[in-house]
Structure 1
Amino acid sequence: MRKRLLSLMLLFLLLLFLSRIPAKNETEARDIEVLELHGVNGYFDVIGRRAQVIGDERSIEFWSFPLNLLRDYTTTLNLTELAKRQWSVIRTGEGIKEEIFVPLHEEGAVIIYSSEFPRRVYVSFTPALKHSWPSFLPLDACKMRIRFEEDRFVIENGKDVVFIGGKDIKRVGPASFCLDLGSTPKIVRIATNEETYKRLSNWKPLYQETVEHYQNFLGRITLIETPDRRLNRDYVWNLLALDSCYIEKPEKGWVAGFDRSQDITEGGGRPGFAWYFGRDFLWSSFAMVSYGDFEKAKEGFKLLQKFQREDGKIMHELPTSIHVIGVENWEKEYPYYFAAADSTPLYLIALDYYLKCSNDTEFIKQSKESVVKAFCYLLKTDRDGDGLIDNKEGHGWVEGGFLAEGQIREGHTTLYLASLWIESLESAKSLFEFLGESELSKRCEELSSKISLEQFWSNKGYFYHRKLPDGSFGGERTVMGAIPLLFGQVNDNTALEELKLLNSKQITTPWGCRIVSNSDKGYNESGYHEGTVWPLFTGWSALANYRYGEYQNGHSLTLKNLRLVEDWGLGYAQEVINGDRYEPIGYAHQGWSSAMAILPVLKGIAGIEVNERDKTIVISPCLLPSWEFLKIKNIRSGNSFFNLTILRNETMSIEIEGDVEDYTLILNVEQME
């Protein structure tokens, strides 16, 4: 349990004794720092806002969403080592170096080759020019034509085009070429149009621009520094992994993640979960907003509003090929568009959190119609009048398997969905109060007063997973009990009982949290929703532990998530892991896996809670007994930034940098025993 070392309310007059130095502009003062992770050649991706390169030791594929440009890019080089940087991937072997980078805002990529000795390398590729699955273009519209002119291959299908080449390449076949390598770099360019192909010939300024972007990004978001250098490093890599999920083409917004694609007859496959996902973005947005990237988080909300259903429901999945196949076809032909019951309550919760931290009042005013529609939609989903929204129109997180039996289509609801509904009522109330909708605000308060999660409590020390249409409860022991805890919806005694289950070996493994107890009769260690470990769940449980004072468990779970960037795909967090063995299942680069490594750091270790609406900042950092310092940089509230430094030897000193005059600061320093 926790030991309180310091509890101070720092009002304006008291702040005079603290440092009032304006927080430094890190983007001006920061030197170019190259971060690298090293490992064997395996999965990697290099993601720009308008183009993407994804590969592994076998081959590479090139994308400019929604278009798959090239597949099966291979060389005769024996590249065995891989180094991941913020802005590129470097593969090496036998004195050869290959660096792949994607200029931030270009529809193309550059590959730079060099060698310590003369060497000829042969390169082959497969033209693709197919749109991401699901593509409804008929196959005869995708007939390929390829020709070689001057220093490049030009591949066309009557609609789209891709260029691949460079001034040093020599054609050796219909889709292959060679390069004579030496100490002077040789360049291969891939682009979707003539103008971009020409710009990529002068690649060095674009490279520098990309490098500076990542340095500036790390200079303006919330960073922490502790004596644990591995923790500090892995936190940064998770920030970069999540940020790379933001793209600008075809729509500005956040995709769920990346991996190698599966070739599908009617399209170019889908590279991992590289679609726009509603609930993936919304869960991840808590991390984005917490580390201060309000601007790109807002773009995610705008996308959800643009594709919000007329009755107010928030979308679940939107492919990057949406403008090729059409919204009407997408909704008609496939069941994924509005398949989730949780996106809509999450939308209200996340939007209210965004307002609290950013105080972006203009955007919230512009969102009024969307907020009202979302709330009114949710009211209609309580079909039996028990005060709980149900999931008859979509899954309440669990999409299939034994945990969903009797849940979808038959109804009724889950602990997860009920907890989101309770929290969304509080959030909607806050939003309506700001928007001047007093009647709707009162309605939220009335509904909230009639709902309790007590009915889900089993009196066996854990929450039931689901409520069935006949009023009975599914007795499975799941990780979903973390949801009401991380929102602070239950009393301390109930929370600590639930945490006994969550922290037991039934749920928690050395690499994270299973969805369901391994002693449940339906447990399947490789079942997607039947026993696997998700970093998402691990993050939920970490937040729940921190919320109720179980700091050691929270810290342990946070480290499990942070360190995923060191394995499998260097610099990325895995989507799903086997429940019994430390083996990956699913996709290699998943955005919300990184979000749920970041958020426990910010909410647990750093303990940051900002409220720009009432100018209050609460900082309750948790220090390990061995830590002599903790530094938190760029705490953002609205448009203000703060730095906090805690030094601890025999005594403790605290320094705050920033424009603190207008803020009330509450500082609680906790030590883990």
Structure 2
Amino acid sequence: MLKTESIMDICRTLKIGDNERDMDHWIVERDTSRSEGFYSSVIKNGPVHFVCGQNGSIESWISPRRRVGLWNFDTQHISGLDIKVNGKSEKETFLKYVRGFAYIYRQYEDFERLDFIASKKAILEMKLRSEKLVNFEINIQILHETAWPQSNFGKDYRVKVNERYIRISSSIASTTINYKSNGNTKIAIDNQKITISSDSTSFLDIYVSCDDSLPEENDLENSIKYNEKTNTISNLVTPSFRINKLFRWAKHDLLELFTSTPIGNGFYAGIPQFSWFFGRDGEWMSMAAIECGLGDLAQNHLDMLYSFSKGGRIPHEIPLSNGGHIKGDNYKIGDSPVSTQFMSIDSSPLWIICMYMLSGWTGKKSDEKTISDVMNFCKSCDRDQDGLIENRFSEGLIGWPESWAQKRDGICVDVNAWWLEAIRVFDQMNGEGNRRFESILKLYKDLFYRFTENGITIIDSANDGKTRDIKGAMQIVPAMYFSGSLFSEGLKWLYQPDLVTEWGVRSVSNRDRFYDGGYHTGTIWPLMTGWMVLALYNNSMYTEGFDMIETFTRLAFSSLDPGRINETYNPEFLYAEGQFFQGWSSSLFIQSIMEGLLGFERVPTDDDPSEMMNPHLPESWDEVKLLNFPFRNKVFNITVRKGNRKEASDISKYMQKNEWQINLSKENAI
């Protein structure tokens, strides 16, 4: 049985320098990190997540769209928390924060604390330990509210207290707090604020249950086993410790954000502001999950999206409340009210690409009926029958740049690159050849790519014969899928300091008249940095591609919550913005390694993964390994090294590609 004290013994010795040595933990220290612990942290297991400060406290507040505190599925249970020892708050005595797989450890002046969420239960468990007898005071604010867009608040709170637990129930939820201590324990209740005092004690365990389930001795062990599942597959070994560690944790990010719910199972977009299901967010996460061996999670998300589709139209977002449905127009862009449920056009072609990726990497047969359904919807967006699909703001058919979607009606460079790739794989998988794809690609190139005396430029969009010449990240997208001199020259125009920074890619060039540094109009997005990596590698710009890969590690290792990559970053002063835990920021790093560095084909067509690889490693590297790599119901160990010498006796396949040899170990059935 794994004991709390065993984890505490490990975490107690860790220092901030171990971020560069220890693969399994991320550390913040009050003194060396110059942090008082008020930056965000999260632990999550299934539908339960707990967001608080790194010092362990929660400032009480109400905000159903920003889910701070303890939440189970769509309902909040805790909105405030403060722990005092001998009269001093944890905010004053905080010393260290350590994030491991499944748990968070905190060290204070007079005690230690370990938090985790039990697997397959809705229980937050907090273990408090002290080497001497102290007086604990735990203040917990209970609040019952349901998540956006429903936003209902609990009424008629009722309290029940006995020797074993405290239960607070309302019109919408029930929260039960169990406790265990070796001291003298007293309970006080003031409205929904619960105070647990335990005097002359060296340990106090607090169990906050959102579903009346009870704690068990093996909860910590089971939680760690679940969270370390990603460490058993697709283990990357390169000369870069930072890349290895971030790849390990990016896989875990996908598992952590995967959520089973009554309305379906899939990936939350992130925490704490977008903790529900999205189309394009979840599709980018599904691509990474498919490539690193978590195809079952991706299958769940893609199936859930289709279950909410309407006439083959894949939704933009699916809220947790109200059965996953949004009623009426719940959002405004400028002065125009819109419904965000189906507020996208790109979710549909991206879904098609994902479905064929899932088939290619797992070997599962595609459901051609559902894919045809979505293809037919996409074709319906081509009103003039020229082969290219059109954005229409009035119908919610918009791409990623939501804040200027009204100005982007017509044919857009990003959306039609995804549509072309969807056509290519659909026709290829259905034995239709490339005639339709090549015909539309020619039209696409003639429309979007312009030859000037200074080289090639790329327009953003066109409508009614008028073009829009906004320079931004949307023009990266075609080079992710298509190669050749036209696309590589276009990339050179994009790969300039006005768009590319040391921290990633701006959404709009800072020299463009449209730039204002805003969320959709200039902010740096790791999502788009990943697009740039894939485009560069696809067009043989390998040095620049690897430079962009290192952007991800730079962000993760400098993060205020080490290991996390934020949603966005300021485009001028390069500090973190947006939510601190963003799914596609991690998933694009995985894709950058798998499709970029290792050169895997996006939609494999062969049972031998080495046939689907064209690796391009940095000049200074001699070898890279991908171990326990699941692919089409088998597990492979792949070694890529310089030279042309077969060295290991257990190699079942050896092949040479350019200067790199690929060694494939004997495979085992899953």
- Contact 2:568–2:578, Cα closer than 8 Å, also in 1: yes
CA contact (8 A) 1:117 1:181 kept: no
Distance 1:444 1:184 in 2: 73
Please, what TM-score do these two structures have when normalized by structure 1? Answer: 0.82
User: Could you tell me which residue of structure 1 aligns to residue 591 of structure 2?
Assistant: 599
Q: 1:244 to 1:655 in 2, by over 3 A?
A: farther
Write the mapping of 1:260-659 to structure 2, written as runs, cut at 5 A: 271-309=272-310, 311-323=311-323, 327=325, 329=327, 335-361=339-365, 364=366, 367-392=367-392, 393-402=395-404, 404-407=405-408, 411-433=409-431, 448=440, 451-460=443-452, 461-487=455-481, 489-491=482-484, 493-525=485-517, 527-566=518-557, 567-609=559-601, 613-617=605-609, 618-646=612-640, 653=646, 655=648
Structure 1 444/458 Cα, relative in aligned 2: closer, same or farther at 3 Å?
closer
Residue aligning to 1:255:
267
- Structure 1 residue 608, shift from structure 2 partner: 2.7
SS of match in other structure, 1:614: coil
Q: Secondary structure at the match of 1:417?
A: helix
Tell me which residue corresponds to 2:164.
Answer: 151
CA–CA distance in structure 2, aligned partners of residues 606 and 587 of structure 1: 30
Partner in structure 1 of residue 187 of structure 2 = 171
Asked if the contact 2:134–2:202 (Cα under 8 Å) also holds between the matched residues in 1, the reply is no
User: 1:336 Cα shift?
Assistant: 0.7
Q: 1:255 to 1:619 in 2, by over 3 A?
A: closer
CA contact (8 A) 1:606 1:632 kept: no
Distance 1:301 1:63, change over 3 A: same
Distance 1:255 1:647, change over 3 A: closer
- For 2:256, the equivalent position in structure 1 comes to 244
**Which structure would you say has the larger RCO, counting Cα contacts within 8 Å and 6 or more residues apart?**
1
Partners of 1:579 and 1:655 in 2: how far apart?
A: 48
Moved over 6 A (4+): 330-334
Deviation at 1:391, TM superposition (A): 1.3
The structural deviation recorded for 1:147 is 3.4
Equivalents in 2 of 1:498, 1:473: separation in Å?
17
Corresponding residue for residue 37 of structure 1: 26
Q: Helix, strand or coil: the match of 2:46? A: coil
Give the direction of change, closer, same or farther, for the CA distance of 1:462–1:208 in structure 2 (3 Å limit): farther
Cα distance, 1:442–1:331 mapped onto 2, change above 3 Å: farther
SS in 1 for 2:619: coil
Distance 1:421 1:79, change over 3 A: same
Question: Given that residues 116 and 183 in structure 1 are in contact (C-alpha distance below 8 angstroms), is that contact kept between their aligned partners in structure 2?
Answer: no
Select the residue among 136, 155, 174 that pairs with 1:142.
155
**TM-score relative to the length of structure 2:** 0.83
Give the corresponding residue for 1:226.
238
Q: Which amino acid aligns with 2:277?
A: Y
In 1, the alpha carbon distance for the partners of 2:442 and 2:540 equals: 28
Q: Counterpart of 1:623 in 2: which secondary structure? A: coil
Cα distance in 1 for partners of 2:645, 2:651 equals: 20
Secondary structure of the structure 2 residue equivalent to 1:186: strand
2-side partners of 1:656 and 1:419: how far apart?
45
What is the aligned-residue RMSD (CA, Å)?
Answer: 2.7
- Residue of structure 1 aligned with 2:76, choices 48, 55, 68: 68
1 CA distance for matches of 2:379 and 2:641?
A: 50
Q: CA deviation at 1:463?
A: 4.5
Q: What fraction of aligned residue pairs are identical, expressed as a percent? A: 21
Q: Deviations over 1:388-436 (max 9, x none)?
A: 101113354333445x4521xxx21210011111111112224444xxx
| Residue of structure 2 equivalent to 1:83 | 98
In the alignment, the residues of structure 2 paired with residue 193 and residue 536 of structure 1 have an alpha-carbon distance, to the nearest angstrom, of 36
Q: Please report how far the alpha carbon of residue 448 of structure 1 lies from its aligned counterpart in structure 2 after TM superposition.
A: 4.0
Aligned position for 1:21: none
Change (3 A) 1:223 1:121: same
C-alpha distance in 1 between matches for 2:562 and 2:229: 22
Cα distance change, pair 136–516 in 1 and its aligned pair in 2 (3 A): closer
How many residue pairs match? The answer is 596
2:483/2:538 contact within 8 Å kept: no
The structure richer in strand per residue is: 2
Unaligned stretches of 5+ in structure 1?
1-32, 260-270
Partner amino acid for 2:267?
V
Q: CA deviation at 1:244?
A: 1.1
Alpha-carbon shift at residue 599 of structure 1 (Å): 0.9
Change (3 A) 1:612 1:529: closer
Q: Where does residue 208 of structure 1 map in the other structure?
A: 221
Structure 1 SS opposite 2:451:
coil
Q: 2:649 and 2:254 mapped to 1: Cα distance?
A: 28
Write out per-residue CA displacement over residues 293-312 of structure 1, whole angstroms, 9 at most, x where no aligned residue.
Answer: 11111101110121111x21
d(CA) in 2 for partners of 1:607 and 1:250?
Answer: 38
Q: Which amino acid aligns with 1:638?
A: R
Cα contact 1:112–1:188 (8 A) shared by 2: yes
Residues 519-569 of structure 1 show CA distances to partners (whole Å, capped at 9, x for unaligned) of: 1122122x0001000000000001111111211211111111134333023
2:422 maps to a residue whose letter is S
Structure 2: gaps (5+ residues):
1-21, 29-34, 59-67, 84-88, 332-337, 662-670
CA separation in 2, counterparts of 1:590 and 1:452? 32
Amino acid at match of 2:343: A
Alignment-mate amino acid for residue 235 of structure 1 = F
